[in-house]
């Protein structure tokens, strides 16, 4: 990784780049002027560096709800994979490529991974499992690499916290527009963000203590502490009992076969909840689900659901705290304008705002 990722090399790379971007015509990659979107900006070096760590990949491999759903999706979509050509975008350890070859009986799998250390690990693991005749590991960014042929299936695990953190979906859409045959299959093929108001009773009690600490009113300390703790969206495991209302759909990316490249820069959604009980609304929790299968037929859709009631995953849930603990009654309507906007300083991250 060092030779490709040193800052000097990065600059050289950018000048002569054939990097595909959203908005580029296939085969016209050098014409950056037509680009509507690029992800080789600030934050990218840190992004790929974070994936140059075996423990990050071990965490993902040990997330059985995650791996298990991909395997179930491969088995449920066998007719799309068997004897077909598969592209794994962001192969990491090569797990999805190997599952597609071993359990999906794919004819050929191209496992594309940007991080050199991981690509070489994937190569070793493919060999160890005797899959080298069918799985080819290609080191490079999907936006840069050339494949020997177009593919029938694109499989990728691109989801970040609250679905879109990391902005990796854009790379998958670039891959789709360039390498997926007409009528080819995206795995996953749908993605949605859900939202629900949540309580945070231990935190509320902790902050409230400052308004009467041994008979003294120290509430400004509590307020400052609350502001400090809740400045950033928090990734945490929400127990289902903390939900104050049934979840509602905040963002539906729709069919990933047709989602426009560049279509994930910004989302805005007016959401309304009806509280199921009285309590104190502390924030809005977000999570996602993705579906595997042709949406039009919908019968064999396998879902990865990261909601608070589902088996826990490493994504957990993400809470945007309101900075207050708003008392609510049962049956009350709570409305909020939710915005997720790719950060200008680091397009790998989103600024999330919740206006109530």
d(CA 115, CA 132): 19
Residue of 38, 77, 80, 93 that binds ligand SAH (CB under 6 A): 93
**Residue closer to ligand SAH (CB basis): 118 or 196:** 118
Provide the pairing of β-strand 317-328 with 234-236.
antiparallel
List, by residue number, the catalytic residues.
Answer: 157, 166
Point out which span in 91-99, 205-213, 228-236, 290-298 binds ligand SAH (CB under 6 A): 91-99
Fill in the per-residue mask, 107 to 136: x = in contact with ligand SAH (CB under 6 A), - = not in contact.
Answer: -----xxxx--x------------------
What's the start-to-end Cα distance of the chain, in Å? 45
- 4 touches ligand SAH (CB under 6 A): no
Cα separation, 170 vs 90, in Å, equals: 12
Which whole-number Å values give the CA distances from 7 to 207, 268, 348, in the listed order? 44, 35, 18
Dihedral sign from CA coordinates of 214, 217, 219, 225: negative
Phi, psi (rounded to 5 degrees) for 297:
-90, -30
According to CB under 6 A, which one of 90, 291, 293, 347 is a site residue for ligand SAH?
Answer: 90
Given 22, 86, 142, 354, the residue binding ligand SAH (CB under 6 A)? 142
Q: Does residue 143 belong to the site contacting ligand SAH (CB under 6 A)?
A: yes
Question: Given candidates 21, 37, 51, 179, which one binds ligand SAH under the rule CB under 6 A?
Answer: 51
Chain-centroid distance, C-alpha 265? 13
Helix (H, G, I), strand (E, B) or coil at 48: helix
Q: Kindly state whether residue 22 participates in binding ligand SAH, applying the rule CB under 6 A.
A: no
Q: Which of 19, 84, 123, 141 binds ligand SAH (CB under 6 A)?
A: 141
Could you tell me which of 177, 212, 192, 216 has the C-alpha nearest to residue 286? 192
Q: Which residues contact ligand SAH (rule: CB under 6 A)?
A: 48, 51, 60, 90-93, 95-96, 112-115, 118, 141-143, 157, 168, 171
């Amino acid at each position: 990784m060092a030779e490709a990722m040193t800052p000097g090399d990065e600059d050289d790379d950018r000048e002569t780049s054939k990097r595909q971007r959203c908005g580029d015509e296939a085969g016209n990659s050098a014409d950056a002027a037509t680009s509507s979107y690029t992800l080789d900006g600030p934050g990218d070096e840190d992004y790929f560096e974070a994936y140059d760590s075996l423990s990050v990949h071990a965490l993902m491999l040990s997330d059985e709800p995650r791996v298990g759903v991909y395997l179930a999706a491969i088995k449920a979509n066998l007719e799309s994979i068997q004897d077909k050509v598969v592209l794994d975008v962001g192969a990491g350890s090569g797990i999805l490529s190997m599952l597609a070859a071993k359990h999906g009986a794919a004819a050929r799998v191209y496992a594309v991974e940007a991080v050199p250390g991981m690509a070489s690990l994937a190569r070793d693991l493919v060999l160890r499992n005797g899959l080298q005749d069918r799985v080819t590991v290609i080191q490079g960014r999907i936006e840069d690499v050339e494949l020997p042929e177009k593919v029938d299936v694109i499989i990728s695990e691109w989801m970040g916290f609250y679905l879109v953190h990391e902005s990796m979906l854009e790379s998958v859409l670039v891959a789709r527009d360039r390498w997926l045959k007409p009528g080819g299959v995206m795995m996953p093929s749908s993605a949605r963000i859900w939202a629900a108001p949540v309580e945070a009773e231990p935190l509320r009690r902790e902050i409230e203590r400052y308004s009467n600490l041994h008979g003294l009113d120290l509430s400004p300390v509590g307020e400052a502490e609350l502001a400090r703790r809740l400045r950033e969206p928090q990734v945490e495991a929400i127990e289902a009992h903390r939900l104050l209302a049934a979840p509602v759909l905040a963002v539906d990316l729709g069919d990933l076969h047709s989602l426009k490249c560049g279509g994930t820069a910004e989302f805005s959604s007016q959401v309304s909840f009806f509280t199921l009980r009285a309590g104190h609304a502390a924030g809005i929790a977000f999570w996602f689900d993705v579906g595997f299968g042709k949406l039009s037929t919908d019968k064999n859709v396998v879902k990865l659901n990261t909601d608070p009631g589902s088996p826990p995953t490493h994504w957990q849930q993400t809470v945007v705290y309101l900075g207050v603990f708003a008392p609510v009654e049962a049956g009350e309507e709570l409305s909020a304008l939710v915005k997720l906007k790719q950060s200008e300083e680091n397009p790998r991250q989103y600024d999330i705002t919740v206006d109530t």
